[in-house]
Structure 1
C-alpha cells in the first residue's frame, strides 16, 4: 500500500516556453517558477503546487519531447484543470482570443460545469468547476 501524498506533474512540449507560460498564467491566474526560462518552466498555484510543466521541444533529449515533427502535440492528452473561480477563468479564456472548442455547460456525468479550448500549441485544455459550485 502506498503512503503519503502522490501528485502528478504533467510536462508538455511547447514551441515557445515563455509564450506558453504567459498564456497559461493569463488563463489560470497562476504564477511560474522560471520567469526567464526558454527551455523549461513550472506553473504553480498560490500554495506552490505545480499545475503544469512546460518544456521546449528538442532540449535535453527526453525521448517523447525530441521533436514536434516526430509526433502531434497532445495526441491522446487532455489537460484538465479544476478551478474555484470558474466564471473568472471563462472570462479570461475569452479575452485570450484563442479557439474555444466548447462553451460553458453542465457535464451531467461529472456533475460540474466545464468548457474546453486549445492552447498555443494545440493542446486540448478543459476547465471545470469544483463539484459544489454547480
Structure 2
C-alpha cells in the first residue's frame, strides 16, 4: 500500500487545523506541534499535513512571499458526506469559489472554496450523483 502525504505551507497551523477539521466535520483537537499538524481520517489515514511557513528550513516552505500559496496545486478531497460538508463549507467562507455542480467527467457533485491561506480546495462526492 502507498500513501501520499500532501504538505502545505500555512501561516498559522492551529487556525488551519481547526478550519480543516470544521470542513470535514471532525472533532476539534490541537495539532501535535505548533509548527506542524496532520489532518487524519477516522481510520488514521493522513488527509493533509499543515506546515508553518519557515519552520525546519525546507526550501519550498520558506515563505509565502516566494510564490503565491497554492500556485500549481489543487487540493482535491472526495467525501462520503457531501451535503453536510457543503453546509460546513458555507459556514467557513463568505462565498464559494465554485457553486455545487455535477462534474460530467466523474459523474459526481463538487464545489470549491479557498482555505485561510488561499489554497483552492475542491470537494467532490465520493459516489456518483
Say whether 1:81 aligns with 2:77. yes
For structure 1, the residue ranges without an aligned partner over 5 or more in a row are none
Alignment of 1:1-134 (within 5 A): 5-30=1-26, 35=31, 37-132=33-128, 134=129
Q: TM-score, normalised by structure 2?
A: 0.94
Q: 1:105/1:21 Cα in 2 relative to 1: closer, same or farther (>3 Å)?
A: same
Displacement of 1:69 in angstroms is 1.1
How far apart in 1 are the matches of 2:73 and 2:24? 19
Verify the 8 A CA contact 1:98 1:117 in the aligned structure 2.
Answer: no
| Higher RCO (CA-CA < 8 Å; seq separation 6+) | 2
The Cα RMSD (Å) is 1.6
Q: TM-score, normalised by structure 1?
A: 0.90
Q: 1:122/1:73 Cα in 2 relative to 1: closer, same or farther (>3 Å)?
A: same
Aligned residue pairs, count: 129
1:60 aligns to what SS in structure 2? helix
2:57 aligns to what SS in structure 1? coil
